[in-house]
Every structure is written in C-alpha cells, then in structure tokens.
Structure 1
Amino acid sequence: MTMTQPDNEWFTDSGAAPDCSVDGAVEAPVPAGHVRGKLTPNAPLAKLVWFKSGGAADWLFEPADLDDLREFLDRLEDGTPVMALGLGSNMIVRDGGVPGVVIKLGKPFSEVEIREGNVVACGAGAHGILVSSTARDAGIAGLEFLRGIPGTVGGFVRMNGGAYGREVSDILIDCDVILPGGELVTLPVSDLQYSYRHSALPDGAVVVSARFQGTPGDPQEIGAEMDRIAQAREDSQPLRTKTGGSTFKNPPGQKAWQLVDEAGCRGLRMGGAQVSEKHTNFLINTGDATSADIEGLGEEVKRRVYKKSGVQLEWEIQRVGRP
C-alpha cells in the first residue's frame, strides 16, 4: 500500500475553534487539555441515524479541525474502537450502543473545492448533494450519481457508494485517511481494492478528504440528470420514512428487491419494523421500532428469501455496536 503525505492546506479551519468541551464526569479517553473539539460521554446516537433507533456511543468526538482529530487519535489508547459517522443513512446502531469512540465530522470537514483538470476536492463530511451541485455549477460532469446517495464523502469512499449505474471507484483519484495511531496518509484508488460496496480500508481508519475526477460538461445537462435522479428516488423509495437505504446487496445478476418480493416479504412486520410496501429492499421504522426489531426483521427476510430461491442475501446496511 503506497502512502504519501497529503496536501491538506485547504482543510485548515478558518473560524475560531471551540473550546474543548467534555460533558459529564467520566474519565475521558484522552486528556481534556489535548482536544479542542466537543467530547461527549454516553452520547445518544438514535437522533444521528436515519432509523432513529439504537443506543449511545461510549464517547462521541466532534473535532474542531484536522489537527485536532489527528492529535486525538494519536493520544487515544491503542485498541480503542473508533468509528466514523456520517449522515447515518445506511446504518443500524444496535440497542446496546457503540463501544469506544464515534467520530462525527462537521463543518471543518465539509468544504468542496474545484481544482484544475475537472478535479473536485471534498472534505469527508461533505454531503453528496453538495458535491454534485458544486460540480454542476462548475460544468463538471460524472458526479451526478452522488445526488442519489444519501450520505457523506467519507462513507462513499469507505463503502464504494454507488447508484444509477455508477460508483465511487469510477471517479475517485485518491483520499486522505488518518490511520489508527494518528498517521495521516494519502491512498490512491488502487490501494483501496474496491469491490461492490467494500474497500480495503482498515477498521478504525478515518477518511478526512477525497479527490474526484470529472469531465467537462454542460451545467444545464448535468442539472437535468441530477433532477432525473432525484425524481427517480422520490418515485421509487420511501424517502419520507425512518429508513436506512438499501438493506441488502444485489446478488450477481439479480435484484435484491425482487427476491424479497418473490419471497412474500412486502409489508412484513416485526415489532415496529416493516419491509417497505413501496420498495422491498428498504426496511422502515414505523414509529417505535428498536434496532433489534429492524435487524431481526432483516434476518427473517434473509431466511425467507433463502428458503424461496436458495439465494443468501448479504447485508448492505452497516450494523454496529452491542446487541
């Protein structure tokens, strides 16, 4: 794996960094005087994920800027679990909560910049719609599909996010990553060993930025394609519900939603969780579902699909934390 030091000058936080805030009396995972962001113990995560369910993080860290994040990870005790959280749109946080530290990247990691050669440089906290809209305004095509993925750049890079026939591996040049221990490295796309919704990034690594390669295009045509994608999502997906996006990976040559439908799972319920009537590869929280309800329903769908078709579905949604 080739690693080089990145040019990260555009990630410098131009605003005043917040004072370090450690809520509660629990011993912090790093000395309070060595962080400038917000460090919160026993932080509820349900409000930060689309399913609106699940337990708390042992610690939630919202870094003030890149240097703050690097120092925090450098000082963190070896072996402490670390998980980056974007929009929480493709995730089940289990009811027992998440051990270790959850890192939430905010405004200092959300910039998008246009560079020479139709390159779009993005912070890992930038939303897909911001990235695609910025590219559109600059007359850069090829990033329209990001409009159809609810999430942030960090998640796209880690999971090889994709939609409408395109995925991140098609456009990624390289990315900046903080490895466990605090080392900041640049990884070219070839080092990520992308496959369907998977990369070779190690657990605990935090993506902080990425560069995407686009092509020259007409802003009106790019905008029209983005509008088409947005309308297609509105027409086919249960966007107005508490959901987690596509639940299962598409098996080679098949559609997960079709297998789920053929197994008679449309509208199937478990506790407060339900298979969407609108799109059967979506699970929804009807109002009071626990994460155990949602995950249990997914496992029941897998069982019924296998019984009906002999196909073993694989989860696309991340499931994290303690049962």
Structure 2
Amino acid sequence: MADTLPKVRGNLTPNAPLAKLVWFKTGGNADWLFEPADIDDLRDFLSALDRAMPVMALGLGSNMIVRDGGVEGVVVRLGKAFSGVKVLDDDQLECGGGASGILVSSTARDAGIAGLEFLRGIPGTVGGFVRMNGGAYGREVADILIDCEVMFPCGKLSRVPVEELAYSYRHSELASGSIVVSARFQGTPGDPAAIGAEMERIAKAREESQPLRTKTGGSTFKNPDGHKAWELVDAAGCRGLTMGGAQVSEKHTNFLINTGDATSGDIEALGEEVRRRVRENSGFELQWEIQRVGRP
C-alpha cells in the first residue's frame, strides 16, 4: 500500500496510534498519519493522492472522539511549519492552522491587540476552531475572522472569506476533508495589561468550572437556543453517571471524562445515554458538539 501513496518530505506513518494525540486518550489507529514538512509538501501529497482516499485533519484532539476501530484513510496533522503567528498592520494577525488558541491570544496581547482574549479559553488549534466556529465567554470565531486559506482534498489552495463559510453555532460549511492551513483575524487597539488581565480571568474561570486535569474532550453537547446543555444534563440526573470507564463529570456536567480505562465506545455510549435521559426528562434533543470520527 505504501508504494501506491505519493512521496513526501514530511512524516507518513502507517497504522499510527491516535489515542496519544487526543485528549480522551482513547481510540484506534489511523490507516496513515501524515505530518507535512510544509504547505508545498501538503499540496503535492494531496494533489497526487487517490481521490477515493478519505482525508481528515487533526489538531490538538481536544474536541474529538476517535472510535476504537480507528480512522480510515489519511489523517493530516499540521506541525511546526503551520504554527506561526504574525502581527500585521491594522490590528490583524495571520495565524497558521496549527497555532494554538493560547499562542494566538498571547501574541495579540503582546502586540496590544484586543478582542481575541476568548481564544485563551479554546483548547484547540486555528484549523479546528475556524472550521467549527469555536467560541467561549460570549465570543466566537465568526466575530474576528477575516478569511482563511483552505487546502481542499484535491490539493487546491484557496483563500475563503468569512462570509463564504456560512457560519452558524459551532458549524461552518467547509467541505469534508478540507484543511484550514492559515487564517487572518481582526482585533482592535488595546492595552496589553488589560488584555492580559482578561486572559487571566478566562483561564481562572476555566480552571474553577471545568475538569481540565482529567482525560476529557471539552464541551460535549451544543447549547440549545435559550438553554445551557449542562443544566439540562444535570436536571436529567446525569451528574456522575458512569458507563464502563467513562463518566459524566461531577464538576461540569457537559463534560465527559475517561476515568482511566474507558474505551471510545464507553464514552460515546455514555453520551448517547445522556442524550436519551435529557430527551425523556425535558424533551430537548441534545446535539453533539464533540466530533466523533472513525470506525466503531
């Protein structure tokens, strides 16, 4: 099979374990894990890849369940070559798809650019939170994004303005298999000290309210209009509910955690049981916010 794949300058690993790359620390292997050397390496690989081969991007793995059967096709992980953040004129930042929310917000702070502090509260990369319109503490990517560079599965690179992403709550219309390789964000002039204080407030609020020091996947379900998912989960009596090695966090009920020996099957089944109990208790049909990928 390796002989049929395009040659690369980066790393192309067969049957690559993914559990160590995602926050839940569960799940199977990728058929192939590709870590491109740079954008040209990524473009050349995708351009020559069989169109029938599935492609999936992986960031920090913070909002994802990789199913126990592993992931078909090629998983692309953007590394150091895609992790830079550059300060532009007019309070703008240009950020690589592999840059973390912490790095983006810290760079903005140091440059006196306000409006991006909320990215401190998103445990992911630019590629991931641009794709899903990530948000926290009252703001979301749609509020700050100017445009993004997207590598499509055919290897074509296009700059896509924010209007064409058709953003909605935790969703965009980006095609499956497309990879956000960079993005430009718009901020406003600000005082670095005030920006830093807001980032510290966000970090403290996360630490106090979320089970950050456990194996978790972040916010599990989307908030229904006018309601908070955690309140619906709590009202359905799910706080602390377990299934195998998976548990509904007692600290924040919109988080599922791996208590140590959970499988991805345990975690997903627990999530479905929570959805069932909420539906029976309140009539709300909770929608998954966590991405679930791969073979059962």
For the criterion TM > 0.5, the same-fold answer is: yes
Pairing 1:196–2:169 present: yes
Pairing 1:110–2:79 present: no
Per the alignment, residue 48 of structure 1 pairs with 21
Task: Give, as a single letter, the amino acid of the residue that structure 1 aligns with 2:286.
Answer: L
**Deviation, structure 1 residue 80:** 1.1
Question: What CA distance in whole angstroms lies between the structure 2 residues aligned with 1:153 and 1:254?
Answer: 27
Unaligned runs of 5+ in 2: none
Pairing 1:156–2:122 present: no
Pairing 1:131–2:104 present: yes
Per the alignment, residue 146 of structure 2 pairs with 173
Question: What CA distance in whole angstroms lies between the structure 1 residues aligned with 2:53 and 2:168?
Answer: 28
Per the alignment, residue 30 of structure 1 pairs with 5
Pairing 1:141–2:114 present: yes
Per the alignment, residue 79 of structure 1 pairs with 52
Identity of aligned residues (%): 77
Pairing 1:223–2:196 present: yes
Give CA-to-partner distance per residue, 1:186-239, whole Å, 9 cap, x none: 000000000000001000101100000000000000000000000000000000
Task: Please give the residue correspondences for 1:1-323 in structure 2 after superposition, counting only pairs within 5 Å.
Answer: 26-28=1-3, 30-31=5-6, 34-323=7-296
Question: What CA distance in whole angstroms lies between the structure 2 residues aligned with 1:77 and 1:118?
Answer: 41
Give CA-to-partner distance per residue, 1:62-107, whole Å, 9 cap, x none: 0000000000000110121110000000000000000000000000
Name the SS for the 2:2 alignment partner: coil
Question: What CA distance in whole angstroms lies between the structure 2 residues aligned with 1:251 and 1:274?
Answer: 22
Structure 1 residues 280 and 29, CA gap change in structure 2 (3 angstroms): farther
Name the SS for the 1:194 alignment partner: coil
Name the SS for the 1:108 alignment partner: helix
Question: What is the total number of aligned residue pairs between the two structures?
Answer: 296
**Deviation, structure 1 residue 27:** 2.3
Per the alignment, residue 18 of structure 1 pairs with none
Task: Give, as a single letter, the amino acid of the residue that structure 2 aligns with 1:132.
Answer: S
TM normalised by structure 1 equals: 0.91
Question: What CA distance in whole angstroms lies between the structure 1 residues aligned with 2:53 and 2:178?
Answer: 12
Name the SS for the 1:89 alignment partner: coil
Per the alignment, residue 15 of structure 1 pairs with none
Q: Which runs of 4+ in 1 moved over 6 A?
A: none
CA-atom RMSD in angstroms: 0.6
Give CA-to-partner distance per residue, 1:52-71, whole Å, 9 cap, x none: 00000000000000000000
Task: Give, as a single letter, the amino acid of the residue that structure 2 aligns with 1:48.
Answer: L
Give CA-to-partner distance per residue, 1:14-53, whole Å, 9 cap, x none: xxxxxxxxxxxx425523xx31000000000000000000
Name the SS for the 1:41 alignment partner: strand
Question: What CA distance in whole angstroms lies between the structure 2 residues aligned with 1:28 and 1:312?
Answer: 47
Per the alignment, residue 9 of structure 1 pairs with none
Give CA-to-partner distance per residue, 1:225-279, whole Å, 9 cap, x none: 0000000000000000000000000000000000000000000000000000000
Structure 1 residues 167 and 312, CA gap change in structure 2 (3 angstroms): same
Name the SS for the 1:249 alignment partner: coil
Question: What CA distance in whole angstroms lies between the structure 1 residues aligned with 2:32 and 2:71?
Answer: 8
Give CA-to-partner distance per residue, 1:117-173, whole Å, 9 cap, x none: 000100000000000000000000000000000000000110000000000000000
